[in-house]
Structure 1
Amino acid sequence: MTLLRLMIRRHRALIGCWSVLLIGLSATASAYQSTYPTLQQRLVAVALAQHNAATTMLYGNLPDPGAPAQMFGWEIGAIATILTAIMAVVVAVALTRTAEDDGTLEVVRSCGVGPRAPLLSGFAVLALVTAVLTVGCTIGAGLDTGRVDGITWSGAAAFGSSVGLTFLLFALLTAVVAQVMPTAGGARLLGFAAVGAAFGIRSIADTQHIAWANWLSPLGLRATVRPFTDNRWWVLATYLIVAAATAWLAATLQGRREYRAGLLGRPSRRPSRLNISSSLGLAVRLARSTLVVWTVAVAGIGTLFAVMGSGVVEQSQTSDVGGFLGAQLGAGDPVAGYFGYCGTVVGIVVSSFAVLSMLRSRHDEADGRTDQVLASGARRWAPLAAQVAVTAAGTATVLIATGALSAVVAPSVIDGTDVAARSFSYIAGQWPAAMAMAGWTAMLVGRWPRLSPLAWVPLVASATFALLGQLLGVPRSIRDLGIFQHIPDVAAPSPDVQGILVLLAAATVTTLLGVLGVTRRDIVTGR
């Protein structure tokens, strides 16, 4: 098996799930035609979108005349490129530094593989993923040619190329970061920081009408290409040159650092005694810094969404809101609908944290750390149970902090009834969903550790049902199988808590199966 095939095989689930989600997003253009069937409805929606600072900050500037194709590229294009940037960071770190940190690359190089071959093979995989995203998103959008006003195959190609090239730019930028940072975790964190900085630059460029500033941000690529409006192909060619220069820089830096090290050295720490008396104490000690980062980041994201809801709620109170946000708001109270959407977004992010936290047990077992804990006299089930407890407390901390901050800020910018209570409950109420994902992951890690990558499948499926189910015409009975949209409205006369109880029951059963399962199998070291 060649190194390229090995990389694809090892990361096929990660790449496949993200690609399906992004390609699915590109197939939602028809919803914009049906939502605004008349010119008058579209003109009202376009005017509100163009003069609302919050939507401009999130999606960018909506070009005139605001045809359904342009609204699709404006709204779905913004969401797709942000998700693409996140995917690029995760995939690029997995292809470059993770293999070094876990020892896999050392095994590969012992077979006679040259020192530059792993990075070049990683570049080849990134180029292949770029091609898949470009072609997939082009076909997804182009299939609505003739059925949606403004959709053409050339515009769809520009849209798909923007998504694919956004992935390539962020992936190669992360590859450069991976040569600088001393660990894969540090590279991933700095890569996400770069995504945040790119979003900030793009937001300032659009809200302050500084068009040239979009050239400084990969997330501004969509605004400079202008799919379904101008289709500026020369912009794509320019960014391809930038991508080639970034790849050259990453390859150059790789040749100037030591194996399993970065150009920046690890921070020096004074030796100190680690007073740990239980598996739970060890899990808490190891997770505390990660929990702080996640809490701050998610609280910021949740509050940002709450602040941005004023224009959407106001528009929905006076006229119909179509497209992606219209599908999220539903036909009920717009305040409840918007905070339900915010809660869904936060729930997806926190559930990802829950899955990553539980997969740490699998990594500890494969790397031999679980053996060391068990050698101290701990019970076989204790490490996994401790990780479940830490995950439960960590997700609760993140959600409560995010909900509380949102409840403080939201009433000052959104008019409506029970704004603070709804803001808090729709976010904090995602804890059962996060625990359902933690329990599912614990069951896989405890009973079938080799199947642990499947932990992401319910999360991706539930996120797709929640965000795209209505736009894609998925039946309600199927969408209800997802875990994120079962939070009751606390302001309703009789809130329905049946969904929450089902999620908690599922979390309890799967967690017990995982904890019991780990006592009935051998501890597996190595990958």
Structure 2
Amino acid sequence: MTAFTGTGALTRLALRRDRLLLPLWALVVGGMVASGSGSLGALYDTPAERAALAASMTANSSMRSLYGPVLGDSIGALVAWRFTTFAAVLAAIMSMIIVVRHTREEEETGRQDMLSAARVGRRAPLTAALLTALLADAAVALIVTAGLSGEGLRGALALGLAVGGTGMVFAGLTAIVAQLTESARLARGLTAALLGLAFALRAAGDAGGSPAPTWASPIGWAQHVRPFAGERWWVPLLMAAAVAAQGTVAFALSARRDVGMSFLPARPGPASGRIATAGGLAWRLQRGGLLGWTAGFLVAGVVFGGMVEGASDLVGDNEQARRIFERMGGQAGLQDAFLATMTGLFGMVAALFVVGSVLRLHGEETSQRAEPVLAGAVGRLRWAAGHLVIAFGGAVALMAAAAAGLTLAYGRDGGPILGAALAQLPAVWVLGGLAVLLHGVVPKAAPAAWGVAGLCLALGWIGPALDLPGPVLDLSPYGHLPKLPGAPVDPAPLLLLTGLAAALAAAGLAGLRRRDVTA
């Protein structure tokens, strides 16, 4: 038996466990980029319009910080400008989820102990996790390359390698972090913080026109591949070298620790005292994530708020672009439409926090930490309520922080912006209620709530640009919200969505009360 014995079997097991999640991620990330060719080609169908867009975006530092520089005025170059950064971020998140799920989470739940009792080598689990991430990132790269090959195979391949390579760099980074931390939650949190730092470095470099910060960011490396603008083929080789170095470090760290242990062990709690209720325990477990998300929404609100005045520069005299913003954000002026678009985006991202917070219940069950709590004088509903208050109430804090950031940067009356942000909550709560229902009634299917949230995010962000039919957009709860600020408010959809969210959550809690724990 060697250190890699069992790698193939563990890889097949990982692919089987993620047989729904991985194709969905690959299709969403790759399809988002591939769809850009048709949408941008329809918006800017003449060389003059494309050249004007490239010139205006190059001169706009706020847009450079968000999307990066425009390196050419062809359709392919505009697709690369518009989608590379966000596709790279999504690929990084996908890779982070895969590696943590099949390394640290397996150890935390005790499944790795059982697997290691068979003919499984020391390096097999980590190798299988990285191979699974590699296959997922390769699928994204293939979809991007195939979807954009009509604009030029060289550029399409370069863009696919840029996105997939960024995902693999963060897979290697996550593999290192997973050796340092003792919990899957902390591993995801630290990697997400590093991803945010990488995005901030790239944004600062692009806004200031300095290449140094972008070279310090793996997300910036994706831009430096220069798809459709004089491709630099040595940058993907740099990414491959970084992944190899990260893998070497991760394997070296893994060989020097026991299964289930880490180099940064969690601090023991106080011997007595400070957590007296189930709600207090939920707050102790989730406060770091809630505070981090809130700070991120505040900062993002400031960034987007500074772009409101330049919304007219983004579309110029292009009527088709104006109509897309109006479909996403309403009819009452371009700046109001831009604000409505941004608050809608914040609402869709807030659903990811709510789903993750609700599914903390699922994690507590599968890791067998819920049983000692429920063995005491704590009912199931009280235990779940602590987490649900943070999940649903935390969404209010996130949207309020986003509204505060938008108001600070925009410098106008914050009342309509706050109202627009809070109007997103019923749709956010519907997705949270669905997560409660899945966890309470069909716990094995609870992770599918991530897929539903991702699909709603894709429909809301890409659907208007693709001019999808109304019935398709209405599949998402966000399709029934008023486009605020600027549009008239109809309370009926808001009340119906809130009632639906309450009904889903109530049904999920009823199922949790009746079923066996961890069943």
> Deviation digits for residues 306-337 of structure 1, max 9, x if unmatched?
22333224544755473997574566521222
Counterpart in the other structure of 1:191: 191
CA distance in 2, matches of 1:494, 1:474: 23
2:32 is the alignment partner of 1:33 = no
Q: Cα 1:195–1:290, aligned 2, differ >3 Å: closer, same or farther?
A: closer
Q: How does 1:2-151 map to 2 (within 5 A)?
A: 2-28=9-35, 29-64=37-72, 66-142=73-149, 145=150, 151=151
Does the aligned pair in 2 maintain the 1:421–1:490 contact within 8 Å?
Answer: no
Count how many residue pairs are aligned between Structure 1 and Structure 2: 510
TM-score (norm 2): 0.91
> Deviation digits for residues 168-224 of structure 1, max 9, x if unmatched?
111111211222233322222221122122222222332333335433321112322
CA distance in 2, matches of 1:420, 1:321: 29
Q: Cα 1:239–1:175, aligned 2, differ >3 Å: closer, same or farther?
A: same
Q: For residue 406 of structure 1, what is the amino acid of its counterpart? A: L
Deviation at 1:352, TM superposition (A): 1.0
Does the aligned pair in 1 maintain the 2:98–2:129 contact within 8 Å?
Answer: no
SS of alignment partner, residue 294 of structure 1: helix
Q: Cα 1:441–1:213, aligned 2, differ >3 Å: closer, same or farther?
A: closer
Segment of structure 1 superposing worse, 438-447 or 210-219 = 210-219
Q: Cα 1:491–1:89, aligned 2, differ >3 Å: closer, same or farther?
A: closer
SS of alignment partner, residue 112 of structure 1: coil
Q: Cα 1:212–1:292, aligned 2, differ >3 Å: closer, same or farther?
A: closer
CA distance in 2, matches of 1:499, 1:313: 31
Deviation at 1:493, TM superposition (A): 6.7
Counterpart in the other structure of 1:514: 508
Q: Cα 1:288–1:220, aligned 2, differ >3 Å: closer, same or farther?
A: closer
CA distance in 1, matches of 2:323, 2:268: 48
Counterpart in the other structure of 2:453: 459
Q: Cα 1:294–1:207, aligned 2, differ >3 Å: closer, same or farther?
A: closer
Deviation at 1:126, TM superposition (A): 1.9
2:426 counterpart (432, 437, 442)? 432
CA distance in 1, matches of 2:215, 2:404: 37
Q: Cα 1:276–1:313, aligned 2, differ >3 Å: closer, same or farther?
A: farther
> Deviation digits for residues 352-377 of structure 1, max 9, x if unmatched?
11111111222223333433333324
Q: For residue 287 of structure 2, what is the amino acid of its counterpart? A: R
Segment of structure 1 superposing worse, 228-237 or 209-218 = 209-218
SS of alignment partner, residue 499 of structure 1: helix
CA distance in 2, matches of 1:185, 1:387: 15
> Deviation digits for residues 281-324 of structure 1, max 9, x if unmatched?
44334333332222112222233222233322454475547399
SS of alignment partner, residue 309 of structure 1: coil
CA distance in 2, matches of 1:24, 1:397: 32
CA distance in 1, matches of 2:458, 2:105: 27
Deviation at 1:115, TM superposition (A): 1.6
Counterpart in the other structure of 2:5: none
Q: Cα 1:303–1:112, aligned 2, differ >3 Å: closer, same or farther?
A: same
Q: Cα 1:246–1:319, aligned 2, differ >3 Å: closer, same or farther?
A: same
Does the aligned pair in 1 maintain the 2:202–2:220 contact within 8 Å?
Answer: yes
Counterpart in the other structure of 1:415: none
Q: For residue 123 of structure 2, what is the amino acid of its counterpart? A: R
Segment of structure 1 superposing worse, 461-470 or 252-261 = 252-261
Does the aligned pair in 1 maintain the 2:113–2:259 contact within 8 Å?
Answer: no
Q: How does 1:45-444 map to 2 (within 5 A)?
A: 45-64=53-72, 66-142=73-149, 145=150, 151-211=151-211, 213-267=213-267, 270-277=270-277, 279-316=278-315, 319-320=318-319, 322=321, 326=325, 328=328, 332-411=332-411, 420-444=414-438
SS of alignment partner, residue 470 of structure 1: helix
Segments of structure 2 that go 5 or more residues without pairing to the other structure are 1-7
Q: For residue 339 of structure 1, what is the amino acid of its counterpart? A: L
Does the aligned pair in 1 maintain the 2:303–2:409 contact within 8 Å?
Answer: no
Deviation at 1:380, TM superposition (A): 4.1
Does the aligned pair in 2 maintain the 1:442–1:510 contact within 8 Å?
Answer: yes
CA distance in 1, matches of 2:407, 2:225: 38
SS of alignment partner, residue 308 of structure 1: coil
CA distance in 1, matches of 2:369, 2:179: 27
CA distance in 2, matches of 1:163, 1:422: 37
Q: For residue 210 of structure 1, what is the amino acid of its counterpart? A: S
SS of alignment partner, residue 132 of structure 1: helix
2:471 is the alignment partner of 1:471 = no
Does the aligned pair in 1 maintain the 2:61–2:208 contact within 8 Å?
Answer: no
CA distance in 1, matches of 2:108, 2:114: 12
Does the aligned pair in 1 maintain the 2:282–2:387 contact within 8 Å?
Answer: yes
Q: In percent, how many aligned pairs have the same letter?
A: 28
CA distance in 2, matches of 1:79, 1:275: 40
Q: Cα 1:238–1:288, aligned 2, differ >3 Å: closer, same or farther?
A: closer
Does the aligned pair in 1 maintain the 2:30–2:143 contact within 8 Å?
Answer: yes
Counterpart in the other structure of 1:416: none
Segments of structure 1 that go 5 or more residues without pairing to the other structure are 146-150, 413-418
Q: Cα 1:68–1:251, aligned 2, differ >3 Å: closer, same or farther?
A: same
Deviation at 1:512, TM superposition (A): 1.4
Q: Cα 1:478–1:121, aligned 2, differ >3 Å: closer, same or farther?
A: same
Q: Cα 1:318–1:186, aligned 2, differ >3 Å: closer, same or farther?
A: same
Counterpart in the other structure of 2:474: 480
TM-score (norm 1): 0.90
